Structure 1
Amino acid sequence: MIVEHNVPLQPYNSFGIVARAQHLARIASDADVLALLADADWRDAPKFVLGGGSNIVLTGDVKPLVLKVEIKGLRLVEDTPRAWIVEAGAGETWHDTVEWTVDNGFPGLENLALIPGTVGGSPVQNIGAYGVELQDRFESLDAIALDTGRAFSLDAAQCAFGYRDSVFKHVASGSNSFGLAGRALITRVRFRLPKPWKAVMGYLDLERKMAETGNFTPNAREVFDWVCAIRRAKLPDWRQLGNAGSFFKNPTVTAEQCADIIARDPKIVHYPMADGSIKLAAGWLIDACGWKGKSVGNAGVYEKQALVLVNRGGRTHPVTGGEVMTLAKAIQTSVYERFGILLEPEPVVV
């Protein structure tokens, strides 16, 4: 295990923001974590876990020791009458993992295709798309405590999944002593892919694909391909135009609040939830405030999807974290002043 110094982080964050890690250790195995914690120079140092860098905004150089997770491995753990249990190393690319499961006859993750990032980041964010969230396919995960080096496993209940949320996004304090933000490094994640497989198609874009193709009984590979096509049409490839995916969470309001907004803005995009609440499309709210295509410095709102903030300066004159956050705060203010709703960012601001 070697600790590198003064490491450029521009290649390791999907926004392409220029920043440096004062110190960086590449974690390719559990043993690398244990070796680091056994080293007197690094045992008590503050640490920052970095996966694919697809859900972060760097506002400056990173002073804590960066743990770049590169643990690999894909395997079928168990084949039961009810489900396939598949395990992936935390450093595996998420999209490649989804494609591997489909190609190997273990369907269930296809709606989550083309989401950037790594497997280890998927439970942290409880990623979701096109009617499926990670928690719907989650079995368990392995992790290592960064203070003691103790290995442990968590099931879905212990991960405390919420909308783009989990125990890994909360700091332990007061009554919430189990918050794991900054306290653990995920090493492996296992997925429960149910049998018999059934396509999840209750999403407008997928319903349109069925109508366009005349295929109302798609297989998993066809759903995978459709999701990839839909995402490519709507969202920029971060390798060509830096971004962190959806920048804001879709807000949830009461039925009464939604009715009030509809009275003023009848075209608002909204989705009734099982608990009686209403989820609003954050991208629609932002677009309604006139932000689509606008910029602050080299930070811009994507022309095709107002929910995505992008790096207009490319690699030559890259956006700064400060510009991204200035734009984000301006959008929040506009939406709050018009709709009385405070949008919550999805990415972690470092």
Structure 2
Amino acid sequence: MHIQPEVSLKPHNTFGIDVKAQQFVEVHQLSDLQTLLKEQQQNPTPLLILGGGSNVLFTRDFEGLVAKIKLKGIRLLREDDSNVWLEAAAGEVWHDLVMHCVQKGYGGIENLSLIPGTVGAAPMQNIGAYGVEIKQVLETVQAVERSTGVLKVFTNEECKFGYRESVFKNIYKDQFVITGITLKLSKKPTFNTSYGAIQEVLQTNQVKELSIQAISDAVCQIRSSKLPDPAKIGNAGSFFKNPTIPFTQFEQLKQAFPHIVGYPVANSQVKVPAGWLIEQSGWKGKRFGHIGVHSRQALVLVNYGGGEGSQIRQLSADIQQSVLQKFGIAIQPEINII
């Protein structure tokens, strides 16, 4: 490992925020990570674990050590007539893993195509899109405990997955470093095409025979049409979670806002698209100097170049306040703000 002083984090976060890490290191081996954590215990300094940087907003320089996880590897553990068990290291690019599975004919994560970030971040917030969440196919998470350097294995149940939630974001926050995951995927997949515009795109593409490749292509097409490419415009995808509210509150809102959109979920709750709430509050396409709200998707806050993280944080707070005043609904960031 080579620890570097005073490194710009601009190339390491998809918002493209130009802040510095006091120290920076890339971790390519599990043993290096364990060594690093042991040294941290002996000489405690602030430590930030970074994956693809696609779910983080830096608002200041980081006074400590930033460790970028670069653990690599995808391997088949076992298989039977119906399923395969696949292990993927935390530093793999998530979309690359999806493409690997699509090409091999392993079904289960094709709806999660083109989600930015690394494999290690996927279970952290239970990534999901177009009717699928990673918890539906995840068997185990491998993670190193920061305080001991010991590698532990968490079952799906032990991860306590929720909507963009897991134990790694709450009760075990900053206590473990995810090093890999194991997925159970299907050789005889059931196709999920009911969410969003997937069916419409499949018809437009004149797909005659449904396949995981066709679904992945459709999802990529939809995401590319709605979401800006971080390589061109700094962003971290969806900035806010979709809030859930009681059915009774939704019915009251429907009287005042007849066109409000909502999807029934468990326990008499309704999930309301945060993008719709933000758009109806007048934010879509608004630009404020170097930052703004994307013109095609109100969920996405953008850095046009030269913007500061503190400005984006303030914009997000203004949006939250605006939505709360108009609809009485509190929306929360799904981005990690540092």
Instruction: Report how far residue 104 of structure 1 moved.
Output: 1.7
- 1:246 is paired with a residue of what secondary structure? coil
1:341 matched to 2:332: no
Q: Which residue of 2 aligns with 1:173?
A: none
| Deviations 1:220-267 (CA, angstroms, capped at 9, x unpaired) | 111111100000001101111110100000000111111011111111
1:326 matched to 2:314: yes
- Asked if structure 2 preserves the Cα contact closer than 8 Å seen for 1:296 and 1:326, the reply is no
Matches within 5 A, 1:1-350: 1-39=1-39, 43-170=43-170, 179-215=171-207, 217-312=209-304, 314=305, 318-350=306-338
Instruction: Report how far residue 47 of structure 1 moved.
Output: 1.3
Q: Give the count of matched residue pairs.
A: 338
**In structure 1, what is the Cα distance between the partners aligned to 2:276 and 2:149?**
45
**In structure 2, what is the Cα distance between the partners aligned to 1:89 and 1:290?**
42
**In structure 2, what is the Cα distance between the partners aligned to 1:40 and 1:231?**
40
Instruction: Report how far residue 296 of structure 1 moved.
Output: 3.2
Unpaired segments ≥5 residues, structure 1: 171-178
- Which is worse superposed, 188-197 or 154-163? 188-197
Unpaired segments ≥5 residues, structure 2: none
Instruction: Report how far residue 64 of structure 1 moved.
Output: 2.8
- Asked if structure 2 preserves the Cα contact closer than 8 Å seen for 1:140 and 1:190, the reply is yes
- Asked if structure 2 preserves the Cα contact closer than 8 Å seen for 1:296 and 1:323, the reply is no
Instruction: Report how far residue 195 of structure 1 moved.
Output: 4.6
Instruction: Report how far residue 274 of structure 1 moved.
Output: 3.9
- Identity of matched residues, %: 41
- 1:344 is paired with a residue of what secondary structure? coil
Instruction: Report how far residue 295 of structure 1 moved.
Output: 2.5
State the Cα RMSD in Å. Answer: 1.5
**In structure 1, what is the Cα distance between the partners aligned to 2:169 and 2:107?**
28
Instruction: Report how far residue 215 of structure 1 moved.
Output: 3.4
**In structure 2, what is the Cα distance between the partners aligned to 1:40 and 1:106?**
40
For residue 67 of structure 2, what is the amino acid of its counterpart?
L
After TM superposition, the score normalised by the length of structure 2 is: 0.96
**In structure 1, what is the Cα distance between the partners aligned to 2:123 and 2:298?**
25
- Asked if structure 2 preserves the Cα contact closer than 8 Å seen for 1:4 and 1:23, the reply is yes
- Asked if structure 1 preserves the Cα contact closer than 8 Å seen for 2:8 and 2:21, the reply is yes
- Asked if structure 2 preserves the Cα contact closer than 8 Å seen for 1:47 and 1:182, the reply is no
After TM superposition, the score normalised by the length of structure 1 is: 0.93
- Asked if structure 1 preserves the Cα contact closer than 8 Å seen for 2:41 and 2:147, the reply is no
